[in-house]
A and B are shown apart, each in its own frame.
Chain A
Amino acid sequence: MTKKSLLFLGPFILLNSAVILAALFKTIQVSLGYYPVIGLRHYTLAYFKTVLGDAAFQRTIGYSLYLALVATILALLLGLGMAFILLKTSANHPLLANFFKIPIALPHIIVALMMLQVLSQSGLISRLLYQVGLLQQIDQFPLLIHDKGGIGIICVFLYKEIPYVAVSTLAILKQLQLGYVQVAANLGATPRQIFGRVILPMLQPILATLFIILFCFTFTSFEVPLILGSPANETIAVTAYNLLTQADLTVRPTAFALNFIMSLICLAMTLLVLGISARLPGGRRHREKD
């Protein structure tokens, strides 16, 4: 590498990788009990044991996993479906197709607010059902916000992520439609074979990437579950936030242990999905068996 390349890359590496390494170092240090500000100087695994052994923390991790998986898988399926629809319709209805993409640019806080206004018990849908006579009283409307299932939270992610998945996969579908599908059909492939042998191998790497990005984001997202979540069922980021905003600094090592654990889960999920993707058709390590 030349000196000029180093000069050009330096700032990026400093802000990207150095921040990550420094953050990782601090996280490990504090979570292992080295926190001189409040007089802690002895390394211990106690905080990790607390987080991993405590039922409340376990529930919070499990709940976040549930939300992230449901939201991500639904977003991928529905987004891919929308991509196929856009593929056929976007040429004739460019305005509609562009309008559909708007949520990508909206911040999560605003979308959470909008869901509150639409889905809550006094929200628009509830009012609509009351007006048509399906509801006699406001509290007959099912709890979709601050509920245990996290429906409102999932709706926010779907609102933003379905268009995102659709736009990301559409680019690849466009190449497919013109070239490979015709070639495969011409060579006598059935629709099922075309999907399995042509479409899936070309799409799965981007789907894997999207899965990783969406999972990691929703698993650790903060604003949305804060606004729409149930107080009884906290997500991992909200728990960490609540610990970290307390004036009591002694809870910090526990919070950092939680931070570390959620980082590890994100990394593990990333490596797992990348590994699976590499071994599927279209992946780097895939070998044709027949």
Chain B
Amino acid sequence: MKRTSTLLLACFLVALPLVVLLLWTVATQWLYPALVPQQFGGKVLGQMLQEPNFWPAVLNSFVIALATTVVTLLIAMPAAKVLATQHFMSQRLLTFMIYLPFILPAIAIVTSTQMLFIQWHLTGTFTGIILSHTYFTLPYAMQIILESYRKMGQGYALTAKSLGAKPWQILRTITWPLMAPGIATAAGLTFIVSLSQYLPTFFIGGGKIMTLPLILLPYANNGRFGLASAYSVVFLLVTMIGVLLLKQLIGGWHHGLRN
């Protein structure tokens, strides 16, 4: 009983700020000290939709996050396949290497790669932003996909190979369907992480490419609660659409994998 009430309290604390956020998006007037808005309406949402940067930001955010997800999976899957069964590096060193982006300060990495990207003419481009996002999403994806590979084991792929399947047949008929739940999780997480990036988009994009966090941060910072909340809700919608879409695309099969 005590435990359940603690969980209930925790969920209440999680829910409360979310409710306030939602209320701000539909409030047209909410003056101190009212607990709920004095007037409701779609004024804020209308104002947001009128902003010239709104649709470009939504579209850019979505495209960048989706592309980052594809690039991340394309890099992480083959690497994880090798690393899951590798003999040439200690497990600890490998883990350290994969997690390094979690340890090193984002601002330090972003600002110094910005100097390199300037030389390579990658600043202000989608490619540059996607590459920098991928650097930050790779640890998440690697962690999940490595775990999936280890859990699946080598036996299925070896057996398929012995039965005469070509590498791409193995990928299509065995590895992909068996790992789909893990890949979908990795893809969803990658999408979320990419969508929330501020620093790499700001520095590498050089202000030329607008995304939702780039609009949201100044509004939040300047206390424009209504607009900031509206953008937050849009942000969460884009997140949900992206994650569900990826789940659908990757598909997968749910018939009790062996442990």
Are chains A and B touching in the complex at the 8 Å CB cutoff?
yes
User: Using a CB–CB distance below 8 Å, which chain A residues touch chain B?
Assistant: 1, 5, 7-9, 11-13, 15-17, 19-20, 22-24, 26-27, 30, 82, 85-86, 88-89, 92-93, 96-97, 99-100, 102-103, 105-118, 122, 124, 126-128, 130-131, 138, 159, 162-163, 212-213, 216-217, 219-220, 222-223, 226-227, 237, 240-241, 244, 255-256, 259-260, 262-263, 266-267, 270
Q: At the interface, is chain B mostly helix, strand, loop or mixed?
A: helix
Chain B: number of interface residues, binned into ranges? 35 or more
With a cutoff of 8 Å between Cβ atoms, the chain A residues found around residue B217 in the complex are 109, 223, 226-227
Specify which of B10, B81, B98, B131 lies most central, judged by the most chain A CB atoms within 10 Å of its CB: B10
- C-alpha spacing A111/B196, complex, angstroms: 11
Q: Answer whether residue B170 sits at the interface, using C-beta atoms and an 8 A cutoff.
A: no
The answer to whether A107 and B196 touch across the interface, beta carbons within 8 angstroms, is: yes
Question: What's the minimum C-beta distance from A183 to chain B, rounded to whole angstroms?
Answer: 20
Q: Which B residues are in CB contact (< 8 Å) with A240?
A: 107-108, 111
Known: A100-B14, A117-B20. A110 touches B232 (CB 8 A): yes
Number of A-B residue pairs with CB-CB distance less than 8 Å in the complex they form: 216
Beta-carbon contacts of B226-245 to A below 8 Å, as 1s and 0s?
00110010011001000000
For residue B17, which residues in chain A have a CB less than 8 angstroms away from its CB?
A: 111, 114-115, 117-118, 159
Among B117-152, those with CB < 8 Å from A are 131, 134-135, 138, 142
Complex A-B, nearest 8 residue pairs according to Cβ-Cβ distance, in ascending order = A107-B196, A220-B105, A12-B79, A114-B17, A8-B78, A259-B108, A23-B112, A130-B33
Contacting residues, chain B, for A126 (C-beta < 8 A) = 32-33
Given the complex, which residues of A lie within 8 Å of B115, measured CB to CB?
A: 26, 30
Interface stretch among B1-9, B45-53, B153-161?
B1-9
Which B residues contact A (CB, under 8 angstroms)?
Answer: 3-4, 6-8, 10-11, 13-18, 20-21, 24, 32-35, 74-76, 78-79, 81-83, 86, 88, 97-109, 111-113, 115-116, 131, 134-135, 138, 142, 192, 195-196, 198-199, 203, 213, 216-217, 220-221, 223, 225, 228-229, 232, 235-236, 239
Partner of B14, one of A103, A108, A259: A103
Measured between alpha carbons, how far is A99 from B12 in the docked complex, in Å?
Answer: 10
Could you tell me if A237 and B35 are in contact, using CB atoms closer than 8 angstroms? no
Contact A124 to B35, CB < 8 A, known contacts A1-B88, A88-B3, A259-B107: yes
Q: Which residues of the other chain, A, contact B86 by a CB distance below 8 angstroms?
A: 5
**Chain A residue with Cβ nearest B116:** A22
A118 B20 Cβ-Cβ under 8 A: yes
In the complex, residue of chain B having the shortest beta-carbon distance to the beta carbon of A19: B135
Asked if B134 and A110 sit within 8 Å, CB to CB, the answer is: no
Instruction: List 23 interface pairs A-B (beta carbons < 8 Å), by A numbering.
Output: A5-B86, A8-B82, A19-B113, A20-B109, A23-B108, A26-B112, A89-B3, A100-B10, A100-B11, A102-B18, A105-B239, A106-B236, A110-B216, A110-B236, A117-B17, A118-B16, A118-B17, A124-B20, A130-B32, A216-B104, A226-B221, A227-B220, A266-B103
Interface pair A213/B99, CB less than 8 Å apart: yes
Q: Which residue of B lies closest to A16 (CB)?
A: B138
State whether B32 touches A20 (Cβ < 8 A): no
